[in-house]
Amino acid sequence: MVQGSAETTVKAPGADGSGDFIGVYAFEANERKEAGDEAGIALSGVVQAPAGGTVSAGRKAVLKGDARGVFVNAPETEGRYAVCGTFLQSGAEGGYVDMIIERGSVTIPEA
């Protein structure tokens, strides 16, 4: 997963959700990238997304707030959340599931 600033510089996602969601970079966790290496980023379409917990097909996907670049179900608690996509498969933490990339937000009203 990649986020960037308004100046289009790429930065690691912050645990506070800072940065703007750009797209998903598929890589192995142990794959090392050097300065100047090319990295393909999916801006739209269906991607294999890393699950940061139990995720459910049909639920909106948000970044987990721990700067690991993994996705979880959008919370059901009141608030406004940055949506990265919709899960097309259910899965467990540590696995990869199909997700369609979307950019936007969802507001969960007070119950």
Query: pLDDT tens across 31-80, in order?
Result: 676 777 777 778 888 988 899 999 999 999 988 877 677 899 998 888 88
Domain coordinates in residue numbering, the chain: 2-108
Under a CB-based contact definition with an 8 Å cutoff, are residues 52 and 38 in contact?
no
pTM value is 0.73
19: which residues sit within 8 A by CB, 6+ positions away?
3, 4, 5, 11, 13
What pLDDT does residue 37 have? 75
Quote the CA–CA distance of 72 and 44 in Å, as a whole number.
18
